[in-house]
Amino acid sequence: MAKVREVMDKFGNKHTYNEGMEGVLATTSEICHINGKEGKLIYRGIPIEELAEKSTFEETSYFLLYGELPTRKELDDFDARLKANRALPQEVLSIMKQMPSQSNTMQFLRTVVSLLGLYETKSDEHTVIETSHEAEKLIAVFPTIVAAIQRLREGKEPIAPDNSLGHAANLIYMVNGEKPDEFAARVLDICLILHAEHGFNASTFTSRVVISTLTDVHSAITAAIGSLRGPLHGGANEGVMHLLNEIGSLDKVEEIIKIKLETKAKIMGFGHRVYKVLDPRARILSQYSERLAQITGNETYYAMSKKIEDIMKREVGDRGIYPNVDFFSASVYHYLGFKLESYTPIFAVSRISGWAAHVMEQLRENRLFRPSSVYLGDIDRKYISISER
């Protein structure tokens, strides 16, 4: 239920508004539908489960951007364009090497995308076609940026993309210098499919608001990255890992979760503005977390996650608070060998496709976003000159 507030302004008018714009319709869209009561998610009509099973991130990205599943030739051409745009311009790489490598990885990513805009933005006329070219380039280069940031943090030289590898496998390769096995690459590919799009979430809405001014794509995506960073949004996957590390062992789960609930602390990776049942993406990720736990022989993170899920279901399930996409993605990324500070940037590697699809959709039938608020400030104040204050 939306938290609807009723307020009286100082002009004597009564207003109602939905806190956090919950349930407020901003425009129409054909990209994604979330059924929060039944826990169903579709991208352009296709259930997420089917895409996770049968598609690849590259194909899903094409589908999100252009609205149709690609033919073999269209997919091959799209794939070739992505591969051709994976490398970072040398100038950008040189500047990245001078940036504070220990800074927050999302801030780093945001800054690099903004920097890329200086090289890529050719004019201030942004057609949907031009925007799609820019968007493809961004989808292609995001893994290279994220991997380079991680390596610079570790005092290592960034690794150039390997075009014999798919999008997901290449990301793993550029982070650790080793080509992943097929299963690890496929699991990351599925993670990227699952995180690619999710309707009018905060970062996607941000990208649409920014592009609605008819500014450039890099500005819209830079703003979206800033929004995704927050712990109430994409940053929650790192919060989950902090929680798992804080708990540390299976026997401490019950006690620590109970204390947190008693003190009204939020459990990261749980709850959702739209889903009031289990997020369908969490169901899929939970299965992969379990399989990776078995393969790696490191069951603790999955076992702790599962126990937290059970306790939360028992304690707050009746309030519609269930695992969201971030909950099991934390242990999956851990098992895939990613460092904690890469988790939210990996989310961005995927979500760039959704942002781009929304930016293009917004441009097709644009009207500037400009909502209103209820003014509750003073209405009859005298100006006091500075010498008298």
Ligand X SMILES: CC(C)(COP(=O)(O)OP(=O)(O)OC[C@H]1O[C@@H](n2cnc3c(N)ncnc32)[C@H](O)[C@@H]1OP(=O)(O)O)[C@@H](O)C(=O)NCCC(=O)NCCS
Active site residues: 233, 272, 326
Answer for which of 70, 143, 161, 271 binds ligand X (CB under 6 A) is 271
| Interacting residues of 296 by C-beta distance below 8 A, sequence separation 6+ | 335
Q: Is 268 in the site for ligand X (CB under 6 A)?
A: yes
Rounded Cα distance, 200 and 355, in Å: 10
Answer for which of 133, 153, 179, 266 binds ligand X (CB under 6 A) is 266
Smallest separation (angstroms) from ligand X to the CB of 61: 20
Judged by beta carbon, residue 161 or residue 269, the one nearer ligand X is: 269
Smallest separation (angstroms) from ligand X to the CB of 3: 7
Question: What is the C-alpha end-to-end distance of the chain, expressed in Å?
Answer: 46
Answer for which of 111, 286, 324, 362 binds ligand X (CB under 6 A) is 324
- Looking only at the bridges linking them, the beta strands covering 40-43 and 32-35 are antiparallel
Smallest separation (angstroms) from ligand X to the CB of 274: 8
Judged by beta carbon, residue 176 or residue 324, the one nearer ligand X is: 324
Q: Is 291 in the site for ligand X (CB under 6 A)?
A: no
Rounded Cα distance, 32 and 47, in Å: 10
**Span interacting with ligand X, options 29-37, 90-98, 271-279, 339-347, rule CB under 6 A:** 271-279
Residues 233-252 binding ligand X (CB under 6 A) are 233, 236
Residue at 132: amino acid letter: S
Q: Is 253 in the site for ligand X (CB under 6 A)?
A: no
Angle at alpha carbon of residue 241, lines to 199 and 248, rounded to 5° = 150
Alpha-helical (H) ranges within the chain are: 48-54, 57-66, 72-84, 90-98, 105-120, 128-153, 167-176, 182-195, 202-211, 217-228, 236-247, 253-262, 280-296, 300-316, 325-335, 343-364
- Interaction mask 15-54, ligand X, x per CB under 6 A: -----x----------------------------------
Q: Is 153 in the site for ligand X (CB under 6 A)?
A: no
**Span interacting with ligand X, options 178-186, 228-236, 282-290, 372-380, rule CB under 6 A:** 228-236
Residue 270 phi/psi, 5-degree rounding, is -125, 150
Judged by beta carbon, residue 10 or residue 252, the one nearer ligand X is: 252
**Span interacting with ligand X, options 95-103, 105-113, 293-301, 321-329, rule CB under 6 A:** 321-329
Q: Residue 343 in contact with residue 237, Cβ under 8 Å? A: yes
**Span interacting with ligand X, options 49-57, 206-214, 220-228, 232-240, rule CB under 6 A:** 232-240
Which tokens sit at 141? 């280069």
Q: Is 351 in the site for ligand X (CB under 6 A)?
A: no
Angle at alpha carbon of residue 173, lines to 97 and 70, rounded to 5° = 110
Q: Residue 323 in contact with residue 282, Cβ under 8 Å? A: yes
Q: Is 281 in the site for ligand X (CB under 6 A)?
A: no
Answer for which of 81, 153, 186, 273 binds ligand X (CB under 6 A) is 273
Smallest separation (angstroms) from ligand X to the CB of 224: 15
Residue at 49: amino acid letter: E
Rounded Cα distance, 168 and 189, in Å: 5
Answer for which of 75, 95, 128, 232 binds ligand X (CB under 6 A) is 232
Instruction: Point out which residues bind ligand X (CB under 6 A).
Output: 20, 232-233, 236, 266-273, 319, 321, 324-326
